[in-house]
């Protein structure tokens, strides 16, 4: 039975929107395209509620799918892809005509041959195309709280399995429809359970049911990753399962079903389009599918838009990644469901219902199938041509190869290569040393060609391969933005600079980071070359590291594993007499150190260069003394070294041949085991918390998640020596801690605690009224270094220039520099992540600054306030005299700048990583920055700060070092903040 409020809402909508009443309220018939075979059960016979009256949970959905598949085995096959972190089985259905279902393996093999023109001539390709159905992949619910997608899927499966309508039969004959039933089962289950238990169908945007609590936030997966970003690094189990299945089938068309935009969205996509895609066929197919949808929507008087917002630039989405694989990859966004609940009142007082949102996705799904069916041969042919063109470009283009050196962290380099292999990129290992006469490094934008000898064992990605376009998109130092797009953003920027300080600013159309080059993000030495020589041994595609169905705790399923092809990890020199030396060059050495401490082994670290075992070791090298540890050390360190891929060295004498510091030296300092609290719950960013959670699980580090309320209740917190505050709203942190909470925090730090603040939390620490650091934010009213008062506009009432932090999280959301357009003005005061949920315009934002600190008061002149940077890679200088940079021997690092948070150097602490004012080179390595603003204001600021306070420390990171699991170069620095 329906809650009475929903009937009221229906009446209200009838009364309000007279002209569109028919379109809005006519109940969509999901069973109009029969006749249907009675042997196949309708979803409602199992769910017991009508479409859109309730949210289907995962187990019920499984019963629906399995019942349909069992009733129609000649049309439907079910494949298991693998388990999620919460033990839900991910499934892929293949639905097609009985004739096609009987020869699925043959079809798969045929399409695989089309995907490799090296093996398949044009004539053979034509023969295959003539007799092979097109592969269409329909994916649902990547964002678990986009719930119309989930319900739509069951209706689509039923239609295809049960209908005898001629059009549907044609689709089945011409297509193998792959239905990825749910891309994010864990997120959907959190959302559906919460909404079903709380929703009453009230359309008022202020009603509680339209705001998910912090711990629900069904958009993300278990580890609160946005799975629609993860195709770049495939850090999550779901992504790995789906990529493996995808590359087994090689689809030509893919649709990813989302929600909830203001009106329905389907392609053609907005600019910028990733320039590695061939522009003409990409545009032609997106337009063909878009026009087909438009005809259906126009006929039903359903509103929609195309282009406008959703681009295909960043390669980690589920439309861009398939596109780079040769498919027509599309994002569809419906306008109802999810946190909009059963009913949602729009800003013109009309009501949109969950059921209508489902109906629109349903029509769009079937329209895509019909369009693919009608264009089967032409689309298959363009798929073959995509791969042939890619191969051709790779053989003749300016970029012939990428060379990645295993270097000092072969595990990290191996992880990068593993990511490429998972995306189907062919990678070889150099059998012997080889020469390139035209190699370009990654250390600066447009690095000039040099002559370079590469060692045996170097990883080589030769672009003369069918995956050339994807490989290049992942690896090139910079992917150029469409010029017209960039010009338009600059024009808006210039207009904004001229606008009055209180005037509304134009937004920008960046959806995500504009630079992601994997060699830079991983901090591995790499080159691209204009030539190709030497002989390579190809690496095999990775097999699942763990059986998909193995019984295994989530943290173990995500524990780091050394890729099979990397030979690293173990103890050299046998059983140590005096000590084991752990070099700190590899990210995973941090894991080894922590896991030894966790088992109560005693470790020390060399604060200065060390000489031991006849060798010199850089500062940061760890020492495990035999005399301070139990007998079990020898066995455990050998085993953990293998697991973490760290080469450990046994030393049999304490005598240092040279230098000041040996194993027994004064500068070899004992380490204390970190006992870590991670701040959770509002106002913490869920994605920042999740990336931290995943990183710590991956390295086997224990922590206690704690809300601020409990932190305040817990009193002196003596059992913990580290508190990590993930990215979050600075104003929200301020409100949640309150004055007494901040004072307690300061006392705890001065007694010896280490507070680690990421991004928005670092802004919180730098607020004048918090003052946990002597650094201040550039452009804030508290920024004394800012250009001096002579410039201050005289016409400003003092009241508006008040420098105090905004007391409420909402206040922070005024968003003076938010990266994209503001959500609808009718939106209730939601959390930033929730605003993103509700605002389709920010659908593609990735871990963006959740909100702004109270920096830009009306008195701030625009030229003194940093414009938020849409994710660029910048060059920072490393201070190699502080423990924060242990393990970093280079003078400069590529770092991500993805906000307007620029920090003045600390006056009392250590500025460990800075944007040096004296740096003559451009700071920009890759990505979009604002001319006259970003570099000018960033120069001379700090990226990582250590602020000693009493016996403790506050460590500030300007950006989130765990961001989307992409920036592996920052991993050790993050660990340094609490290990040493
Ligand atoms: Zn979405």
Collapse the DSSP code of 328 into the 3-class scheme (helix H, G, I; strand E, B; otherwise coil) and give the result: strand
SS3 sequence of 97-136: CHHHHHCHHHHHHHHHHHCCCCCCCHHHHHHHHHCCCEEE
DSSP 145-159: T-HHHHHHHHHHHHH
Question: What are the C-alpha distances in Å from 773 to residues 48, 58, 768, 908?
Answer: 59, 47, 9, 8
Q: pLDDT-based confidence at 864, cuts 50/70/90?
A: confident
Closest to 623 (Cα-Cα) out of 645, 639, 601:
601
Q: Which of 793, 745, 797 is nearest to 773 (CA)?
A: 745
Instruction: Give me the pLDDT at residue 693, please.
Output: 97
Write out pLDDT tens, residues 185-208. Answer: 999 999 999 999 999 999 999 999
Edge-to-edge strand list for the sheet holding 647-651: 570-572, 647-651, 579-582, 622-625, 604-606, 668-670
Q: Ligand 1 centre and the CA of 397: distance in Å?
A: 36
C-alpha dist (Å) from residue 418 to 70, 234, 475: 38, 10, 13
pLDDT tens-digit series, residues 913-928? 999 988 888 999 999 9
Average pLDDT estimate for 613-634: 97
pLDDT at 834 over 70: no
The pLDDT value recorded for residue 854 is 40
Q: Torsion angle of alpha carbons 905, 909, 914, 917, nearest 10°?
A: 50
What pLDDT does 509 receive? 87
Q: CB neighbours of 731 closer than 8 A, spacing ≥ 6?
A: 683, 805, 806, 807, 808, 809, 811, 812, 851, 853, 854
Mean pLDDT of 950-975: 95
pLDDT at 830 over 80: no
Tokens of 922: 């451009």
CA dihedral 9, 10, 14, 17 (to 10 degrees): 60
pLDDT in tens, 392-415: 999 998 999 999 999 999 999 999
For 542-563, letters b (16+ CB in 10 Å) and e give beeebebeeeeebbebbbbbbb
Q: What is residue 37's three-state secondary structure?
A: coil
Which of 81, 286, 88, 68 lies closest to 156, judged by CA?
A: 68
> What's the whole-number mean pLDDT along residues 334-359?
97
Calculate how far, in angstroms, residue 182's C-alpha sits from the geometric centre of ligand 1.
Answer: 13
CA dihedral sign, ordered 577, 578, 580, 585: negative
User: Quick check: helix, strand or coil at residue 138?
Assistant: strand
pTM listed for this prediction:
0.91
CB neighbour list of residue 297: distance below 8 Å, 6 or more residues apart = 264, 303, 304, 360, 363
User: In Å, what is the CA distance from 350 to each residue of 23, 146, 550, 559?
Assistant: 12, 20, 50, 49
Residue 845 Cα to ligand 1 midpoint, Å, equals 10
Residue 548: the pLDDT is 56
For residues 213-229, average pLDDT: 97
Q: Is the pLDDT of residue 859 over 70?
A: no
Tokens of 151: 């319900």
pLDDT tens-digit series, residues 776-803: 999 998 887 654 433 333 333 333 332 2
Beta strands in 548-675 (DSSP E): 570-572, 579-582, 604-606, 610-612, 615-617, 622-625, 647-651, 668-670
Q: Which H or E element spans position 473?
A: helix 468-475
Structure token pair of residue 432: 């012997």
Residue 718 has pLDDT above 70, yes or no: yes
The mean pLDDT of 229-248, rounded to a whole number, is 96
Kindly give the distance from the C-alpha atom of residue 111 to the centroid of ligand 1, in angstroms, as a whole number. 29
Average of per-residue pLDDT across 842-857: 38
Answer yes or no: are the C-beta atoms of 569 and 647 closer than 8 Å.
yes
Query: Which pLDDT value is given to residue 339?
Result: 96
At 587-598, the pLDDT tens digits run 999 999 999 999
Tell me the pLDDT tens digit for each residue of 517-541.
999 999 999 999 999 988 999 999 8
Both tokens assigned to 667:
């500068």
d(CA 948, CA 954): 6
Whole-number Å distance, alpha carbon 49 to ligand 1 midpoint, is: 25
965 contacts 936 by C-beta, under 8 angstroms: no
- Which 3-state string (H, E, C) describes 233-261? CCCCHHHHHHHHHHHHHCCCEEEEEEECC
Q: Is the confidence at residue 17, as pLDDT, over 50? A: no
CA of 266 to the centre of ligand 1 (A): 13
Q: Compute, in angstroms, the gap from residue 643 CA to the centroid of ligand 1.
A: 36
Between the CA of 581 and the centroid of ligand 1 the distance, in Å, is: 48
Q: Closest by alpha carbon to 972, among 872, 890, 898, 874?
A: 890
Is the backbone of residue 25 left (phi > 0), alpha (psi -120 to 50) or beta?
Answer: alpha
How many angstroms is it from 332 CA to the middle of ligand 1? 9
CA-angle at 433, arms to 432 and 437, nearest 5°: 140
Which residue in 481, 584, 148, 544 sits closest to 337, CA to CA?
148
Task: Say if residues 449 and 440 touch (Cβ distance below 8 Å).
Answer: yes
Cα–Cα distance for residue pair 319/327, rounded to 1 Å:
9
Of 509, 506, 977, 532, the residue nearest 762 (C-alpha): 977
Cα-to-centroid distance, 145 and ligand 1 (Å) = 8
What is the CA(259)–ligand 1 centre distance, in A? 5
Q: How far is the CA of 543 from the centre of ligand 1 (A)?
A: 29
Q: For residue 320, how far is its CA from the centre of ligand 1 (angstroms)?
A: 14
552 CA from centroid of ligand 1 (Å): 29
- The region, left, alpha or beta by phi > 0 then psi within -120 to 50, assigned to residue 500 is beta
């Amino acid at each position: 039975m329906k809650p009475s409020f929903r009937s009221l809402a229906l009446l209200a909508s009838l009364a309000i929107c007279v002209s569109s009443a028919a379109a809005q309220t006519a109940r969509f018939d999901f069973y109009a395209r029969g006749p249907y075979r009675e042997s196949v059960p309708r979803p409602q016979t199992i769910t017991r509620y009508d479409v859109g009256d309730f949210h289907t949970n995962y187990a019920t959905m499984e019963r629906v799918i399995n019942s349909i598949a069992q009733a129609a085995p000649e049309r439907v096959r079910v494949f298991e892809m693998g388990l999620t972190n919460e033990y839900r089985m991910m499934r892929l259905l293949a639905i097609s005509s009985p004739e096609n279902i009987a020869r699925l393996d043959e079809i798969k093999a045929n399409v695989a041959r089309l995907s490799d023109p090296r093996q398949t001539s044009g004539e053979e390709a034509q023969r295959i195309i003539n007799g092979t159905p097109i592969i269409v992949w329909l994916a649902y619910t990547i964002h678990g709280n986009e719930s119309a997608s989930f319900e739509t899927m069951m209706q689509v499966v039923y239609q295809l399995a049960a209908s005898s309508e001629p059009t549907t039969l044609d689709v089945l004959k011409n297509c193998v429809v792959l239905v990825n039933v749910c891309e994010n089962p864990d997120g959907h289950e959190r959302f559906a359970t919460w909404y079903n238990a709380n929703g009453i169908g009230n359309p008022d945007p202020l009603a509680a049911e339209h705001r998910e609590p912090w711990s629900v936030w069904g958009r993300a997966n278990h580890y609160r990753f946005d799975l629609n970003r993860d195709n770049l690094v495939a850090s999550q189990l779901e992504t790995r399962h789906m990529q493996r299945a995808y590359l087994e089938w090689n689809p030509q068309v893919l649709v990813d079903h989302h929600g909830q935009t203001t009106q329905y969205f389907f392609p053609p996509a907005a600019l910028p389009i990733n320039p590695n895609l061939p522009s003409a066929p990409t545009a032609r197919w997106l337009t063909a599918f878009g026009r087909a949808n438009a005809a259906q929507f126009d006929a039903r008087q359903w509103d929609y838009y195309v282009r406008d917002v959703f681009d295909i630039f960043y390669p980690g989405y589920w439309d861009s990644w398939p596109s780079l694989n040769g498919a027509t990859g599309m994002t569809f966004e419906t306008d109802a469901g999810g946190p909009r609940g059963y009913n949602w009142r729009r800003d013109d007082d009309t009501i949109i219902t969950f059921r209508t949102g489902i109906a629109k996705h349903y029509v769009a799904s079937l329209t895509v199938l019909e369009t693919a069916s009608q264009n089967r041969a032409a689309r298959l042919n363009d798929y073959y041509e995509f791969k042939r063109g890619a191969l051709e470009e790779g053989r003749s283009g300016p970029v012939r190869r990428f060379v990645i050196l295993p270097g000092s962290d072969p595990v990290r380099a191996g992880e990068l290569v593993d990511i490429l292999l998972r995306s189907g990129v062919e990678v070889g290992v150099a059998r012997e040393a080889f020469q390139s006469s035209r190699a370009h490094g990654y250390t600066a934008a447009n690095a000039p060609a040099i002559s370079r000898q590469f060692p045996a064992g170097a990883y080589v990605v030769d672009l003369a391969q069918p995956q050339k376009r994807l490989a290049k998109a992942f690896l090139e130092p910079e992917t150029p933005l469409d010029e017209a797009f960039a010009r338009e953003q600059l024009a808006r920027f210039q207009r904004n600079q001229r606008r009055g300080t209180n005037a509304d600013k134009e937004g920008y159309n960046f959806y995500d980071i504009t630079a992601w080059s994997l060699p830079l993000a991983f901090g591995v030495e790499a080159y691209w070359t204009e030539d190709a020589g030497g002989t390579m041994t190809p690496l095999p595609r990775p097999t699942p590291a763990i059986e998909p169905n193995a019984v295994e705790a989530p943290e173990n399923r995500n524990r780091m594993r050394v890729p099979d092809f990397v030979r690293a990890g173990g103890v050299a020199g046998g059983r140590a007499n005096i000590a084991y030396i752990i070099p700190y060059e590899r990210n995973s050495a941090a894991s080894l150190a922590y896991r030894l401490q966790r088992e109560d082994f005693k470790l020390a670290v060399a604060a200065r260069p060390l000489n031991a075992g006849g060798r010199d070791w850089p500062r940061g090298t760890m020492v495990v003394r035999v005399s301070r540890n139990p007998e079990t050390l020898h066995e455990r360190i050998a085993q953990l070294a293998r697991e973490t891929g760290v080469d450990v060295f046994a030393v049999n004498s304490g005598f240092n041949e040279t230098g000041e510091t040996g194993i027994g030296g004064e500068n070899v300092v004992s380490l204390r085991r970190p006992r870590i609290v991670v701040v959770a719950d509002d106002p913490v960013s869920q994605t920042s918390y999740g990336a931290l959670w995943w990183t710590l699980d991956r390295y086997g580090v224990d922590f206690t998640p704690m809300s601020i309320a409990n932190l305040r209740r817990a009193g002196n917190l003596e059992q913990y020596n580290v508190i990590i505050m993930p990215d979050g709203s600075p104003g929200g942190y301020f409100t949640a801690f309150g004055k007494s909470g901040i004072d307690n925090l300061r006392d705890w730090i001065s007694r010896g605690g280490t507070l680690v603040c990421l991004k928005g939390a670092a802004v919180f620490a730098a607020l004048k009224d918090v003052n946990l650091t002597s650094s201040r934010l550039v452009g804030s009213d508290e920024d004394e270094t800012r250009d001096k008062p002579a410039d201050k506009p005289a016409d400003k009432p003092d009241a508006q220039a008040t420098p105090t932090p905004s007391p409420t999280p909402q206040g922070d959301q005024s968003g003076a520099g938010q990266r994209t357009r503001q959500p609808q003005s009718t939106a209730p005061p939601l959390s930033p992540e929730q605003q993103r949920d509700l605002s389709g315009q920010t659908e593609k934002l990735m871990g963006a600054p959740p909100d702004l600190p109270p920096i830009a008061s009306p008195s701030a002149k625009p030229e003194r306030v940093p414009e938020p940077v849409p994710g660029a890679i910048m060059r920072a200088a490393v201070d190699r005299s502080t423990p924060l940079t242990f393990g970093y021997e280079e003078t400069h690092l590529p770092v991500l700048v993805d906000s307007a948070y620029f920090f003045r150097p600390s006056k009392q602490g250590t500025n460990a990583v800075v944007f040096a004012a004296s740096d003559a080179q451009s700071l920009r390595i890759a990505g979009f920055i604002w001319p006259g603003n970003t570099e000018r204001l960033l120069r001379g600021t700090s990226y990582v700060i250590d602020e000693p306070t009493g016996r403790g420390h506050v460590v500030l990171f300007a950006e989130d070092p765990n961001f989307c699991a992409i920036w592996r170069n920052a991993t050790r620095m993050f660990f340094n903040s609490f290990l040493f």
